[in-house]
Structure 1
């Protein structure tokens, strides 16, 4: 790698060998490979060599044509990597310290401006000019936009969290989507209350659901998780929850993490309870809503989509701390080389797929 003189407010980074990325060009087509021999870093940008990326459900839905996405596109937004170059203004980690070359990091799925009305209100994930890793069409000066690549170009406005060297990459990569989203969901359900002794019900034992189970159980909640899969129910109990095959309740906090049990989740909330909807990130049939019942039970029904930088930092801290007691290191069931990203996504799409399939560019 060679750093050239600044040009138009940017540092030009020559990469030898060139970075490579797998580009999705449309539903039903195999990924194509592009070489990226150089990156133009803005003042607050960072370049990361990716250690491991995991395949999220949204990647699967995009490739299958179930959600719209702009092509050509570098998919992947659950990654861990190491900083190899920084913009000339310096880049700060989430804790306010200066990042250094060689730091091992995870980063937010969103790039936010920090100044618009939504950012000022704390809704940084809904920034007026938001950009999302693994969701943006590639273009000049920003080709390394997703995790299915050897490198990622992180733009100013990205939350970057320094993470421990000793923690497995398979634990850290999903932090930037599943774990941080689960943290946001539990936090929204708690609404500032202590979770000790509270009844928490989680629908869906996917990785978001299991992460929510562990986070709530670790805080002292009595957690039940509902999932139709006996295999996933058995795994869920290792994350601190009591597993059930069918609807149960009532509960103080209900987290719907599957996208398939919204009506059940709302029905299971106790008087004064909170139903947190986090799994409905794909088109589905509308459900009937009994407004009188919601009023009489004094329910709070809230949605969580993505997360804030604080959520990511807290989720990473949990994984590095008390979260080590839970089997997050076992969620990745298969690892593929970057060249076989289509096989990795196919494996993640299988009916009996592990919670996560990983892509290793190294």
Structure 2
């Protein structure tokens, strides 16, 4: 790469205030990668950050879901984190967080809880290596940041979503020990919910979706959901709980997955579950949003709650393998909406925020 090359990035200068800035493309330090962004998706987390409601992140380079093409390898980089040979021009998916290996959490083997997970993402773009987020022409992959070569049969938009939506639910469902023949009730049919249907199907589980948006319900049927509890028809918690009970021989589901992202869904979850069930909480990520909740429901029904924010970084490799094996069975590409140029990032964010689109993409449009 020419030493005088420059690239552009989307910097969040204030609430809903995005600036396109230009910086020199850095040389990679030993163990690092410099990549060109092929496609970056707009995830719900970006909307929280853009709207000023994220508890930690603001005034930063936006973007974390991405498919990247290696343009410059740092000294010592010869393989990805699965031992696959890596070269300039290869497509890779990086984790959007780091596992530093040196903090107390990493020392306990709790890499998903690394105390420095977002330490690079939060830096100001004036600080080297500038390209801290994936909403840009380039993205810098740090030495402690896992990355994996992308199988050739995974479409670009689908591969770009691997490091968040798919891998998060794959990790979460393994954390709650989902097994063959169990029943999973999924609250919310957005991108995470649809991926959860696919993963649960592959585990041999029976799936129930709680959703009220027709487009999401139809997409869930394309993903092979077994049952839908439409909250336009079942319009109270009691009605939805009764319907789930009917579908599960009167017991309730074995596992619940909250990916609706609203506190009321978490409060409803225990009503849908059997005694001794497990409840996976992924969707509610913004502190300060509350709802009335009856904790005795958890106690009296012996429900085990497992929240997860990140995943152990090697799960990204497992997620890509899952996509490669199942890409012909599920319409993952339907979860990715139209592509926008980087300069139109505010339009893409607004359309996602207005729910006109599920997951718009930014496509910088490099020539290779």
Scaled by the length of structure 1, the TM-score of the pair is 0.89
Q: Which moved more, 1:130-139 or 1:218-227?
A: 130-139
Q: Post-superposition shift, 1:34?
A: 1.7
Q: Post-superposition shift, 1:134?
A: 5.1
Q: Any idea what SS the aligned residue of 2:337 has?
A: strand
Q: Is 1:356 aligned to 2:359, yes or no?
A: yes
Q: Deviations over 1:261-281 (max 9, x none)?
A: 001112222122100110011
Q: Post-superposition shift, 1:165?
A: 2.8
Q: Post-superposition shift, 1:94?
A: 2.4
Find the aligned partners of 2:347 and 2:56 in 1 and give their Cα distance. Answer: 20
Q: Deviations over 1:101-160 (max 9, x none)?
A: 222110101112123331233322321222266554334212101111011001011110
The answer for the alignment partner of 1:266 in structure 2 is: 270
CA contact (8 A) 1:40 1:141 kept: no
Q: Any idea what SS the aligned residue of 1:39 has?
A: coil
Find the aligned partners of 1:224 and 1:134 in 2 and give their Cα distance. Answer: 36
Find the aligned partners of 2:120 and 2:338 in 1 and give their Cα distance. Answer: 23
Q: Which of 187, 195, 198 pairs up with 1:214?
A: 198
Deviating beyond 6 angstroms after TM superposition, the runs of 4 or more aligned structure 1 residues are none
Scaled by the length of structure 2, the TM-score of the pair is 0.88
Q: Deviations over 1:284-329 (max 9, x none)?
A: 11432333x4233221111011212222111111111124310001
CA shift in 2, pair 1:229/1:37, >3 Å: same
CA shift in 2, pair 1:71/1:189, >3 Å: closer
Q: Which of 290, 293, 313 pairs up with 1:288?
A: 293
Find the aligned partners of 1:76 and 1:129 in 2 and give their Cα distance. Answer: 18
Q: Is 1:96 aligned to 2:109, yes or no?
A: no
Q: Post-superposition shift, 1:175?
A: 0.9
The answer for the alignment partner of 1:339 in structure 2 is: 343
The answer for the alignment partner of 1:172 in structure 2 is: 159
Q: Is 1:20 aligned to 2:8, yes or no?
A: yes
Find the aligned partners of 2:140 and 2:74 in 1 and give their Cα distance. Answer: 11
The answer for the alignment partner of 1:252 in structure 2 is: 254
Q: Any idea what SS the aligned residue of 1:170 has?
A: helix
Q: Is 1:63 aligned to 2:50, yes or no?
A: yes
Q: Which of 32, 45, 50 pairs up with 2:19?
A: 32
CA shift in 2, pair 1:72/1:288, >3 Å: closer
Find the aligned partners of 1:334 and 1:350 in 2 and give their Cα distance. Answer: 15
Q: Which of 327, 330, 333 pairs up with 1:329?
A: 333
Structure with the higher fraction of residues in strand conformation: 1
Find the aligned partners of 2:48 and 2:164 in 1 and give their Cα distance. Answer: 15
**Any gaps of 5 or more consecutive residues in structure 2?**
232-239, 246-251
Number of residue pairs matched by the alignment: 344
Find the aligned partners of 1:266 and 1:274 in 2 and give their Cα distance. Answer: 9
Paired residues for 1:71-86 under 5 Å: 71-86=58-73
Find the aligned partners of 2:174 and 2:180 in 1 and give their Cα distance. Answer: 13
**Any gaps of 5 or more consecutive residues in structure 1?**
3-13
Q: Any idea what SS the aligned residue of 1:266 has?
A: helix
Q: Post-superposition shift, 1:96?
A: 2.5
